[in-house]
Copies of this chain bind each other. A is one copy, B any other.
Amino acid sequence: MLSITDKTFIEKSFPVWDKLNEDEKKLFLNNTKVASYKKGDIIFKNDSECLGLIIIKSGKLRTFMMSEEGREITLYRLETDDICVLSASCVIYQITFDSFIEAEKNSEIFILNVNTFSKLFEQNIYFSNFVLSNATERFSDVMWTMQQILFMNIDKRLAIFLIDESNKSDSLKLNITHEQIAKYIGSSREVISRMLNYFQKQKYIKLFRGGLLITNKDKLKELIKN
């Protein structure tokens, strides 16, 4: 059973809560449990099981894809209040690709079980609308990243640039704006900013106002070799 604090948390976090009728709200709360995961735990593999909708109570989750050789690509991260529909993908017939979710920190999450999720997805148009909107937004973001990696080699070009600059200045700290990097690489500021954010998510670098710090030069070097 959820505590009153937990119930309030869910009511505030779920964007279309007001669009559920009283029965649906009860159904939602009665079929949601709290689960704890330790840092490093795999919460979900979508080829083997079906979990349901996740709301993050505390901690941090990471969603990723994995190659046969174990190479990972981070899709996105989820923090307190965020909602993840990927873990319910088994009942969203529109979603068919493989993904994983792991706890990046010790985390507590709410899980709405998959039968109830499925029921609400079928019967409440606002609920399904929210789920599809969430999925479209996440996928679009991921597709942008994959497009850059697959086509533009912006990841490699950026990695080469950062390593060269670091070698030249003999420092891991680079005082250079996204605008300047874009000019040097011959790309747009928007593309460079998004790729820098992606590098930060992957923990290769740390961004600060007016520059960046290379936190994992070896990983950047690996990028170039691929």
A43 to chain B, nearest CB (A): 20
Q: Is the CB of A150 within 8 A of B73?
A: yes
A215 part of interface (Cβ distance < 8 Å)? no
A24 to chain B, nearest CB (A): 16
Q: Which of A144-183 contact B (CB under 8 A)?
A: 144, 146-147, 149-152
Report which residue of A125, A136, A143 has the largest number of chain B beta carbons within 10 angstroms of its beta carbon: A136
Among B73, B126, B136, the residue within 8 A (CB) of A136 is: B136
A129 part of interface (Cβ distance < 8 Å)? yes
Question: Considering the chains assembled together, what is the distance between the CA atoms of A212 and B58 in angstroms?
Answer: 52
Number of copies of chain A assembled together: 2
Q: Is the CB of B151 within 8 A of A150?
A: no
A63 to chain B, nearest CB (A): 12
Whether A141 touches B96, Cβ cut-off 8 Å, given contacts A132-B132, A136-B136, A146-B150, is: yes
Question: Considering the chains assembled together, what is the distance between the CA atoms of A141 and B95 in angstroms?
Answer: 8
A71 part of interface (Cβ distance < 8 Å)? yes
Q: Which of A31-76 contact B (CB under 8 A)?
A: 65-68, 71, 73
Question: Considering the chains assembled together, what is the distance between the CA atoms of A141 and B151 in angstroms?
Answer: 18
Question: Considering the chains assembled together, what is the distance between the CA atoms of A144 and B65 in angstroms?
Answer: 10
7 contacts across the A-B interface (CB closer than 8 A) = A67-B152, A68-B151, A94-B137, A95-B136, A95-B140, A135-B140, A149-B150
Question: Considering the chains assembled together, what is the distance between the CA atoms of A93 and B141 in angstroms?
Answer: 11
Among B65, B94, B151, the residue within 8 A (CB) of A147 is: B65
Q: Is the CB of B146 within 8 A of A143?
A: yes
- Which 6 pairs, one residue from A and one from B, show the smallest C-beta to C-beta distance? A67-B151, A132-B132, A94-B137, A139-B139, A97-B144, A94-B136
Among B93, B97, B125, B151, the residue within 8 A (CB) of A65 is: B151
Given contacts A95-B140, A98-B147, 12 further A-B contacts (CB under 8 A): A65-B151, A67-B152, A68-B152, A71-B151, A94-B136, A96-B140, A97-B144, A98-B144, A128-B133, A135-B140, A139-B139, A142-B143
